[in-house]
A and B are shown apart, each in its own frame.
Chain A
Amino acid sequence: MKTFLRIIGGLVVLGVIALLAFIFVPVQRTAPAKELAADWQPEPGQGEYVMHASDCVACHTAEGGEPLAGGRAIASPMGTIWSTNITPDTETGIGEWSYDDFRGAMVDGIAKGGTHLYPAMPYENYRLMQEEDIRALYDYLMAEVAPVQNEVQETQLSFPFNLRFGIRAWNWLALTHDAGFNPVGTSDLQDRGQYLVEGPGHCAACHSPRTPFMAQDGVTASDDAFLTGGVIDGWNAPALRGEGSAPQAWTVGELADYLATGRNAHSAANGEMGLVVEHSLQYLTDEDNLAMAAFLKGIDGAEVEAPETVAAAGPIATPDPEADDAGRETAELLISADPEMPLGARLYTDNCIGCHFASGKGAPGLFPELQDNHLVTGSETAPLISVILNGAEVPGTAKRPMTLRMQGYAERLSDDEVAELATWLRGAWGNDAGPVSPADVADVRDTDATH
């Protein structure tokens, strides 16, 4: 989430306009798109479900702290932003907040009392949530979450980023989209998926590019750049639409498996995406994960065929992973066991082939495919280097209880060797991405050592 904070970079430019704006225009909250009846009541469990779908816990829980009691440090070049306590404690939490106050934070990024929140809080996306869901969430937080007394550290960024009124001008540029949900209307399933992806799931916060002001470039399905890929904290959050994107390459069922369990027949969810699955998506119903998958599949008009269930129970038949046309040459080289093969191929043979296979296709649900894998071919190489050095792990979920773990090779491979191997992987089986240098590897090794 750290990179959200690069958003703030744009604030400098806007400082002057902001000052004027701040002086002349009073702060206003957006009116609800829909007035709920006075006796409106959420469905039982609705608020908790919305909380899972919108992943509040991920940011509002400190390392090892009480859920929702805040205090998670979000590093930024300008200083640390601390997430707040959103349990209903009257002194340190949001116990005194009215529904309108809460709504203001979710929809306009305005806290009780009128101060602007840093857009590390993804109100750009939560703004698209339905009134009923925001209300259900509020009721849940106020009535069902136990108050936790926890004074979180105050965020103190250096000048001029400490001047929160500057965010106001930024909001003028970033919040050009209306509050509330506007379904495209392809099918009920896809509309539901659109809603979850745009609003609560805030997928665009990572998977859309950023404007020069670091606002999300593409927040709703009607924006061209929506979900065309972003970079977050040194990781590619790959494009979720367009040729070669995972939703186009995978079936709807495979995509839903990935969302619900962090693994599927092709890939595994690591880094921030692993956390999204762990804290949020695994708690959603099959219908909702299928809905998101169906929406993403059909986003540019592709035909959508959705199965009934996600990650069906029972054994997975592991097909003999045969290389396809693009991968054949690489597979043949590996199978030949030719002593003259290039060093990268040799390192793959010595270290990786037992699980990811000569075809680079791995085994469904167990060993990710390395052919056309966006972690392997991304513009950002640190994640690939890190997986090789430190290994990786997808935690178990209700539907796939087994932890998926790969061991690291930091002890076994030198910087030069990791660079050779990574460079080779990025060109194997038809992959087509640039080289990795030993210096890149050393950087990742050093960063890990200081953490």
Chain B
Amino acid sequence: MTDLPGYPSRRSFLKASAAGAALSGLALPASAQQQPQPVSLDEYQREYLNADEWAFIMAATARLIPSEGDGPGALEARVPVFIDRQLASDYGTADDWYMEGPHDPNAEPARGWQTPLNPAEVYRQAIPAFDAWCQETHGAAFAELSPEQQDASLTSLQNGDVALAGELREFWGLLLSNTKEGYFADPQYGGNHGMQSWVYIGFPGARAAYREWPERHNVKYPLGPVSISGERA
């Protein structure tokens, strides 16, 4: 988990940036848009996940990129929405992936996707299995555990200490990378709400306009990001 964005070391490093200030509302650019607020995560109409799965994704992503750091957490960035929509799409159904066997659950990780299940199926089968493990080990489903217990459970999952069926071996990797993607992808996919993660790290988004900047050493690029659909922050 050390490479997770938003980990304390990086957060304090980025903290001083003007973009970080913009996020906190202190220096909102005159030209930032007033975006209509989307429905809260509680009222969000799920496209793929069921209620238990949603509770798990909310809880798990909130631990992977927590809200109490300096930058936005996964929930502020609406990462669960991103994951739900992706699983409902041709990503979830692995429409354009090579899905023929053989699948070898013991293959090196570098050998790629080693399960006949598509990502949506992996989530569907792995969440109850992992919840059952949490129940057995910590006495409650993942979403009901304390933050410390949740962190411990995720660490076990990452280290392979949770005995999941071979077909579910991709679960941890998926959960982690989908969380990062939901945090940093263009907002059109439901995550990175308000481009908060971009503002936070000072990434200016989809603007091909830096001709005059590469040679300006040690000068901060001050302008907030723009999304592919033209949203400004």
Q: Please tell me which one of the listed residues A342, A354, A358, A413 contacts residue B31 in the complex, with CB atoms under 8 A apart.
A: A342
What 0/1 pattern do residues 57 to 94 of A give for CB contact below 8 A with B?
00000000000000000000000000000000000000
CB pair B230–A351 under 8 Å, yes or no, is yes
CB pair B230–A350 under 8 Å, yes or no, is yes
CB pair A339–B223 under 8 Å, yes or no, is yes
Q: Hey, which chain B residues are within 8 Å of A413, CB to CB?
A: 230
Q: Is B119 an interface residue (CB 8 A)?
A: no
Q: Please tell me which one of the listed residues B18, B30, B211, B232 contacts residue A350 in the complex, with CB atoms under 8 A apart.
A: B232
CB pair A346–B31 under 8 Å, yes or no, is yes
Q: Is B207 an interface residue (CB 8 A)?
A: yes
CB pair B209–A353 under 8 Å, yes or no, is yes
Interface centre among A336, A351, A357 (most CB of B within 10 A): A351
CB pair B208–A337 under 8 Å, yes or no, is no
CB pair B221–A339 under 8 Å, yes or no, is no
CB pair B207–A350 under 8 Å, yes or no, is yes
CB pair A339–B222 under 8 Å, yes or no, is yes
Q: Taking CB as reference atom, which chain B residue is nearest A414?
A: B230
Q: Is A411 an interface residue (CB 8 A)?
A: yes
Q: Is A46 an interface residue (CB 8 A)?
A: no
Given that A339-B31, A340-B30, A342-B31 are known contacts, is A349 also in contact with B211, CB under 8 Å in the complex?
no
CB pair B223–A338 under 8 Å, yes or no, is yes
Q: Is B229 an interface residue (CB 8 A)?
A: yes
Which chain A residues (330-352) contact chain B, with CB distance < 8 Å? Answer: 335-343, 346, 349-351
Question: How many A residues have CB within 8 A of the partner chain?
Answer: 22
Q: In angstroms, how far is the closest chain B Cβ from the Cβ of A429?
A: 16
Q: Is B29 an interface residue (CB 8 A)?
A: yes
What 0/1 pattern do residues 56 to 77 of B give for CB contact below 8 A with A?
0000000000000000000000
What 0/1 pattern do residues 141 to 159 of B give for CB contact below 8 A with A?
0000000000000000000
Q: In angstroms, how far is the closest chain B Cβ from the Cβ of A351?
A: 7
CB pair A337–B221 under 8 Å, yes or no, is yes
Q: Is B226 an interface residue (CB 8 A)?
A: yes
Q: Hey, which chain A residues are within 8 Å of B22, CB to CB?
A: 339
CB pair A338–B230 under 8 Å, yes or no, is no
Question: How many B residues have CB within 8 A of the partner chain?
Answer: 20
Q: Is B224 an interface residue (CB 8 A)?
A: yes
Q: Is B163 an interface residue (CB 8 A)?
A: no
CB pair B207–A358 under 8 Å, yes or no, is no
Q: In angstroms, how far is the closest chain B Cβ from the Cβ of A363?
A: 12
Given that A337-B221, A337-B223, A340-B29 are known contacts, is A358 also in contact with B211, CB under 8 Å in the complex?
yes
CB pair A349–B30 under 8 Å, yes or no, is no
Q: Hey, which chain A residues are within 8 Å of B223, CB to CB?
A: 337-339, 346, 349
Q: In angstroms, how far is the closest chain B Cβ from the Cβ of A377?
A: 23
Q: Taking CB as reference atom, which chain A residue is nearest B27?
A: A339
Q: Taking CB as reference atom, which chain B residue is nearest A332?
A: B212
Q: In angstroms, how far is the closest chain A Cβ from the Cβ of B23?
A: 13
Q: Taking CB as reference atom, which chain B residue is nearest A320?
A: B211
Q: Hey, which chain B residues are within 8 Å of A336, CB to CB?
A: 222
CB pair B29–A339 under 8 Å, yes or no, is yes
A350–B229 alpha-carbon span in the complex (Å): 11
CB pair B229–A338 under 8 Å, yes or no, is no
Q: Hey, which chain A residues are within 8 Å of B27, CB to CB?
A: 339
A339–B221 alpha-carbon span in the complex (Å): 10
A413–B224 alpha-carbon span in the complex (Å): 18
Q: Is A412 an interface residue (CB 8 A)?
A: yes
CB pair A412–B229 under 8 Å, yes or no, is yes
Interface centre among A349, A358, A417 (most CB of B within 10 A): A349
A135–B229 alpha-carbon span in the complex (Å): 58
Q: Please tell me which one of the listed residues B18, B31, B209 contacts residue A341 in the complex, with CB atoms under 8 A apart.
A: B31
CB pair A349–B209 under 8 Å, yes or no, is yes
Q: In angstroms, how far is the closest chain A Cβ from the Cβ of B166?
A: 45
Which chain A residues (293-352) contact chain B, with CB distance < 8 Å? Answer: 335-343, 346, 349-351
Given that A338-B222, A343-B30 are known contacts, is A349 also in contact with B212, CB under 8 Å in the complex?
no
CB pair A339–B229 under 8 Å, yes or no, is no
Q: Hey, which chain B residues are within 8 Å of A346, CB to CB?
A: 29, 31, 223, 232
What 0/1 pattern do residues 200 to 233 of B give for CB contact below 8 A with A?
0000000111011100000001111010011010
Q: Hey, which chain B residues are within 8 Å of A357, CB to CB?
A: 211
Q: Taking CB as reference atom, which chain B residue is nearest A336?
A: B222
What 0/1 pattern do residues 167 to 185 of B give for CB contact below 8 A with A?
0000000000000000000
A337–B232 alpha-carbon span in the complex (Å): 13
Q: Hey, which chain B residues are within 8 Å of A350, CB to CB?
A: 207, 209, 226, 230, 232
Which chain A residues (210-248) contact chain B, with CB distance < 8 Å? Answer: none
A163–B18 alpha-carbon span in the complex (Å): 73
What 0/1 pattern do residues 1 to 41 of B give for CB contact below 8 A with A?
00000000000000000100010000101110000000000
What 0/1 pattern do residues 431 to 446 of A give for CB contact below 8 A with B?
0000000000000000
Q: Hey, which chain A residues are within 8 Å of B18, CB to CB?
A: 339
Interface centre among A335, A339, A346, A354 (most CB of B within 10 A): A339
Q: Hey, which chain A residues are within 8 Å of B221, CB to CB?
A: 337
Q: In angstroms, how far is the closest chain B Cβ from the Cβ of A328?
A: 13
Q: Taking CB as reference atom, which chain B residue is nearest A334?
A: B209
6 contacts between A and B (CB under 8 A): A335-B212, A343-B31, A349-B209, A349-B223, A354-B209, A412-B230
Residues of B within 8 A of A (CB): 18, 22, 27, 29-31, 207-209, 211-213, 221-224, 226, 229-230, 232
- In the complex, the 5 A-B pairs of residues with the closest C-beta atoms, listed nearest first: A354-B208, A339-B29, A412-B230, A337-B223, A353-B209
Seed contacts A354-B209, A417-B230; 10 additional CB < 8 Å A-B pairs: A337-B223, A341-B30, A342-B30, A346-B232, A349-B207, A349-B209, A350-B232, A353-B208, A358-B212, A412-B229
